[in-house]
Amino acid sequence: MEIQELFEEVIGLLEKCDYQSLRSLLDEKEPYDLALLCEELSDKTLPIVFRLMSRDTAAECFSNMESDVQEALLKRLSDSELKAMLDELYIDDTVDLIEEMPANVATRILANSSAESREYINQILNYPKDSAGSIMTVEYVRLDKNMSVADAFTRIRRVGTEKETIYTCYVTDSDRTLVGVVTAMDLMLSDTDTLISEIMETNVISVTTDEDKESAVLKFSNYDFLALPVVDKGNRLVGIVTVDDAIDVALEEATEDVEKMAAITPSDKPYLKVGVFETWRARIPWLMILMLSATFTTAIISSFESQLSANAILVAFIPMLMGTAGNAGGQTSVTIIRALSLEDITTGDILRILWKEFRVSVLCGVSLGVVCLFKSVYIDGTNWETAFVVSITLAIAVLVAKAVGCCFPLLIKKIGFDPAVVASPFITTVVDALALLLYFAVANAMIL
Amino acid sequence: MEIQELFEEVIGLLEKCDYQSLRSLLDEKEPYDLALLCEELSDKTLPIVFRLMSRDTAAECFSNMESDVQEALLKRLSDSELKAMLDELYIDDTVDLIEEMPANVATRILANSSAESREYINQILNYPKDSAGSIMTVEYVRLDKNMSVADAFTRIRRVGTEKETIYTCYVTDSDRTLVGVVTAMDLMLSDTDTLISEIMETNVISVTTDEDKESAVLKFSNYDFLALPVVDKGNRLVGIVTVDDAIDVALEEATEDVEKMAAITPSDKPYLKVGVFETWRARIPWLMILMLSATFTTAIISSFESQLSANAILVAFIPMLMGTAGNAGGQTSVTIIRALSLEDITTGDILRILWKEFRVSVLCGVSLGVVCLFKSVYIDGTNWETAFVVSITLAIAVLVAKAVGCCFPLLIKKIGFDPAVVASPFITTVVDALALLLYFAVANAMIL
């Protein structure tokens, strides 16, 4: 709603050609809100409003825009305007931009970047997707251990405005080896002639460029950092990850995990920005695979067709058995997958996990079985014999489902794949088939 | 592994009674790592090691411990030791502690807090669960707009060590109304005789005490803040939320959402810390409800028993139809729920969402139906007539499932409940019943 008001005010000032007031109105606003404003503007008014923003606000606003708005705007900017904006953009935001733009726009961005930036950009683009290196920035404050606190302040005042954070400064050797960290708080609370080497923290926690970005996020959560240094294999400082990017990664990765667990190819765009075909493409592969894999359940039922005709009531419980087993397996697999991504457990804990899940599933299986027995007789109105078959199958199926839901993700993780991808729906298919086989085996043994 | 090494080193030094070296070893470590160390220690060695830590490290380490270790340690600390530690703990950490301890321990903590802290603690404990007020802290730096930058530095140096952050300072009126924000960066880059009123940002973004903590997290993500002011209804400053807590909330809330979607009562403890009975209690209610709600599918199938006996092959496709419809509905509901919690969509967007989901589900339904038709004939070996019944049912069921998966969460949100709770498994039950009814209706119309 607030954005709508801002939009109307802006349009009003544009109509009156009151650029002076418009400029000061824009000056007051946060870059994120300006980005939302820009999404509402037409292709014609967008560049006019954008040009009225101050240079650093414009750059920050730009990096907050959705990629379709960025692309529309870039088309209208001259090379010199683009160059000026790229100077203001942080390297990590430029990298994000290049990754999202079509090839010709990306080439134009690279061509208008400074030679130094271009080198950094190419370096960051080369780090594996989802690595700490791919989300880092190179704009940090570097100090020398022989500097005094006063020297450090002078340097921060000189270079600070171009850096993504000045609150954590990094102390490196002549070969860029990371030797210490000093916070702005340490500096402010020390005498001006103290040497950096006296106040720096030498026991530095860092990530390597190829470490998973999720484990960088966990370090932020565990150690309460504002920035985390990224080093190469030789402990040389190559960049930093800042806490604002860590929050974004935490939210994005959670969305991705949720989407994967629901059998959707993850997307990093907001729901309403994704086209119908794109949504279809993200959803249809898994639906198709799961539909085709149901060939097993069809085949199992077909092969027991004569027994089922002889005892037709058994059919009525198939959905309940498969549904409950699927839910039981899903609970376990989702818990295990989330615990793996929070590093609460590792694949090495498999025996402890199995033992715990075994006891939980016995409890669940027995309680469900007992309730199901009486429900079948008194609510569904079946005979005791069938009720026993159904309940015993249910209890064992829950046990099996929880075992599958627990082992599958750990196994997938162990062989180096992403457990979220194989979660609930795929496990459900396996569990469905096992539950059916079990059902017919129990039925055969007891009544058929 | 590193913790294991640290543990052995600590035990070695304890055996040699070399407390001097132990103290300096502990001094080098991060509080989070020390908390992991404490979890490995026996009840007897834990207080010895804890007492060797410096006061502020000990407090930070304590707030990083799991609650069972905290409880064990508190039993061994004298009242004066407890009082000393509480002085060092930030108010928000003390509140977390009180919420997790048994009543008698909580009372002891309150009794040993200063009168001023006790007042703040009670205030924060009174804010609704999951509100911004419940996660805030009161240890922020407050400035006056008539101060000079030099005055501000003096105040920060005097009070800074007790504050949770000094990088964002808050400017308030005499009645504590929030009038501006100044960052440490603004202060460092300004001349010492500049007035705070000249450099402060007056357009302050804040949350109110009863706003959802997830929307506070989204503000951190959107505006890249390091701290967010929390105000009451009269815009008076009552506390701040810091970015390190925002990251923790982001991770916890994602875990909670995932657990709710998998029909588990959420828990905030790490997987291996939760007892078997507790895990059972978190999982059994939904399994039981879903098992009992399958009474509908059982009744539907029973009532069509005669038709099924006449055309036994139809039974074989029930699992595939219900499974695919369930997956299709789950994809949509999970996407909608996540988009709602990221505030990408609101319930007001329902028509746009329905229109989009309708087109996506037509695409999905048609593609699945066509593939299913040929699969049924050529892989499952059924006749064309049955294959048509199955495929048409599948296409319509996908449409219905996606409509349910889309409307349910929006409706639940609209009437003020948490959509994650009613997600996938519950929707699956509804979709299962609808798919079955549809199946028999199509079959009746076409072949029976």
Closest residue on chain B to A354 (Cα): B272
C-beta atoms of A184 and B184 within 8 A: yes
Last residue of a domain, one of A126, A156, A176: A126
Percentage of chain B lying above the pLDDT 90 cut: 48
According to the model, what pLDDT value does residue B448 have? Answer: 56
Q: Is A221 on the interface with B (CB under 8 A)?
A: yes
State the residue for tokens 């007042």: B119
**Cα B177 from Cα B170, distance rounded (Å):** 10
Mutate to test the interface with A, among B32, B61, B217, B279 (most CBs of A within 10 A): B279
Amino acid at B318: I
Co-location of A115 and A20 in the same domain: yes
Q: Check whether residue A121 and residue A242 sit in a common domain.
A: no
* pLDDT tens digit sequence for B30-89: 899 999 999 899 888 999 999 999 888 899 999 999 888 999 999 999 999 999 899 889
Across the interface, whether the CB atoms of A315 and B308 are under 8 A apart is answered yes
Inform me whether the pLDDT recorded for A448 exceeds 60.
no
- Which residues have a Cβ under 8 Å from the Cβ of A126 and sit 6 or more positions away? none
User: What CATH number is attached to the domain comprising B341?
Assistant: 1.10.357.20
pLDDT at A232: 92
Q: How many CB pairs under 8 A join A and B?
A: 357
Predicted confidence band of residue A425 (pLDDT cuts 50, 70, 90): low
Q: Are A369 and A392 in contact (CB under 8 A)?
A: yes
Judge whether A226 is closer than 8 Å to chain B, CB to CB.
Answer: yes
Question: Do residues B191 and B101 share a domain?
Answer: no
Q: Interior CA angle at A300 toward A296 and A303, to 5°?
A: 135
Please state the separation of Cα A281 from the chain's center in Å.
20
Helix ranges, A294-383 (H): 295-303, 305-310, 318-341, 350-378
- Among A207, A305, A288, A302, smallest CA distance to A249 is for A207
- Over the stretch B227-284, which tens digit does the pLDDT of each residue have? 999 999 989 999 999 999 999 999 998 888 888 888 888 887 888 888 888 888 988 9
Residues B114 and B195 in one domain: no
Q: Residue B171: phi, psi to the nearest 5?
A: -105, 125
Chain A residues with CB inside 8 Å of B203's CB? Answer: 28-30
Same domain as A377, residue A306: yes
Q: For position B212, which CATH number holds?
A: 3.10.580.10
- Are A299 and A239 part of one and the same domain? no
Best of B187, B247, B349 to disrupt the A interface (most A CBs within 10 Å) is: B247
B66 touches chain A (CB under 8 A): no
B117: domain CATH number is 1.25.60.10
State which amino acid sits at residue B135: I
**Do A330 and B262 make contact, defined as CB atoms within 8 angstroms?**
yes
Q: Is B184 on the interface with A (CB under 8 A)?
A: yes
Sort out which chain B residues have CB atoms less than 8 A from A359's CB and list them: 276
**Chain A, window 31-60: residues with a beta carbon less than 8 angstroms from a chain B beta carbon:** 32
As for the ipTM of the complex, it is 0.84
A302 interfaces chain B, CB cutoff of 8 Å: yes
Cβ-nearest to A160 among B188, B205, B258 = B188
Chain A interface includes B327 (CB < 8 A)? yes
Confidence class for position A424, pLDDT limits 50, 70, 90: low
* B327 lies in the same domain as B425: yes
A371 and A322 share one domain = yes
Q: Is B270 left (phi over 0), alpha (psi -120 to 50) or beta?
A: beta
Token pair, residue B102, equals 């048994």
Same domain, yes or no: A316 and A427: yes
State the average pLDDT over residues B349-359: 92
Helix, strand or coil, per DSSP, at residue A53: coil
Domain identity same for B70 and B96: yes
Contact B258 A257 (CB under 8 A): yes
Answer whether A226 sits within 8 Å of B247, measured CB to CB: no
The number of domains in chain B is 3
3-state helix, strand, coil in chain B (%, to 5): 70, 10, 20
Contacts of B288 in chain A (CB under 8 A): 367-368, 371
Is the Cβ pair A280, B336 closer than 8 Å? Answer: no
Strand bridging mode A168-172 / A141-143: parallel
Euclidean distance between CA atoms B251 and B137, whole angstroms: 19
Residue A21 shares a structural domain with residue A77: yes
In terms of residue numbers, what domain contains A241? 141-246
Residue with the two structure tokens 């974004």: A248
Confidence at B163, pLDDT banded by 50, 70, 90:
confident
Domain final residue, candidates A246, A262, A284: A246
Q: Is residue A280 part of a domain?
A: no
Residue at B337 is within a domain: yes
Q: Which residue in A250, A164, A165 sits closest to A215, CA to CA? A: A250
Which of B294, B345, B380 faces A271 most closely, judged by CB atoms?
B345
Do A171 and A29 fall within a single domain? no
Mutate which: B34, B162, B188, vs A, most A CBs within 10 A: B188
| Contact residues on chain B for A352, CB-CB shorter than 8 A | 272
Q: In this predicted model, what pLDDT tens digit does every residue of B411-447 receive, in sequence order?
A: 988 888 888 877 666 788 889 899 999 999 999 888 7
Kindly state whether residue B436 falls inside one of the protein's structural domains. Answer: yes
Tell me the one-letter amino acid at A161.
T
Judge whether A1 is closer than 8 Å to chain B, CB to CB: no
In sequence order, the 6+-apart residues with CB closer than 8 A to the CB of A375 are: B291, B292, B295
Minimum CA–CA partner of A183 in chain B: B167
